[in-house]
Amino acid sequence: MKPKPLEEKIKAAIARHPDWDDGKIANYGVKGVRVFQVKAVRAGEPIPAKVEEAPKDSVGFVSLERIIQKFDIRSAILRELGTIPKDKLISEVELCQRAAGTDKNRFRRTVENNEAEFRPLRIRLKLDEGEPKWYWGEKTTVEAAQRIRDL
């Protein structure tokens, strides 16, 4: 008995489980299949032989990019603020989680050490019952919220 070609196996798995996504087909539907191969079959294209992967770091090395991403909280805050839509504010708790992860103290120190830079990007509002909370956003959004708050 001749083994089935890979493309036929993938098509059969897709027919058996049409509600499964490409990743699930690759992981459970056909043994030894990669997601890029399932995507190619669904698109009606020939299966690529192999997608070149980026070389993995050696065990003993750490990239400078990884260190910067972990410890440069100021840049992380500014990067996260750049993703906030115009006319929207984000709570400081959420921004801290996105920028510093579980390291709240590093986030707080960064905000205190860059107070002049961050002052125009944050506002203290009492939107719910309880204590006022800090919110962050684009400079124009914060200025508009201050005008409305101070009416």
Alpha-helical segments (H) within 5-71: 6-16, 22-24, 35-42, 64-71
Does residue 68 share a domain with residue 26? no
- pLDDT band of residue 50 (cuts 50, 70, 90) is low
In a domain, 29, yes or no: yes
Q: Is residue 38 part of a domain?
A: yes
Report the 10 Å Cβ neighbour count for 123.
20
Q: Taking a C-beta distance cutoff of 8 angstroms, is the pair 86, 141 a contact? A: yes
- Place 137 in a pLDDT band, splitting at 50, 70 and 90: very high
Q: Are residues 143 and 80 in the same domain?
A: yes
**Residues 75, 136 within the same domain:** yes
Average pLDDT over residues 41-46: 84
Split into its structural domains, the chain has a count of 2
Q: Mean pLDDT across the stretch 119-143?
A: 93
Report the length, in residues, of the chain: 151
The pLDDT of residue 138:
94
**Residues 73 and 125 grouped into a single domain:** yes
Same domain, 16 and 80: no
Q: What is the pLDDT of residues 87-106, one digit of tens each?
A: 999 999 999 999 988 889 99
36, 68: one domain? no
- Quickly count: other Cβ atoms within 10 Å of residue 41's Cβ: 22
Q: Is the pLDDT of residue 52 over 70?
A: no
Asked if residue 54 belongs to a domain, the reply is no
Over residues 47-63, mean pLDDT: 68
Domain that holds residue 82: 64-149
> Does residue 55 lie within any of the structural domains?
no
10/72 same-domain check:
no
Residues 142 and 70 in one domain: yes
The answer to whether residue 48 sits within a structural domain is no
Q: What is the mean pLDDT of residues 23-44?
A: 82
Do 10 and 68 lie in one domain? The reply is no
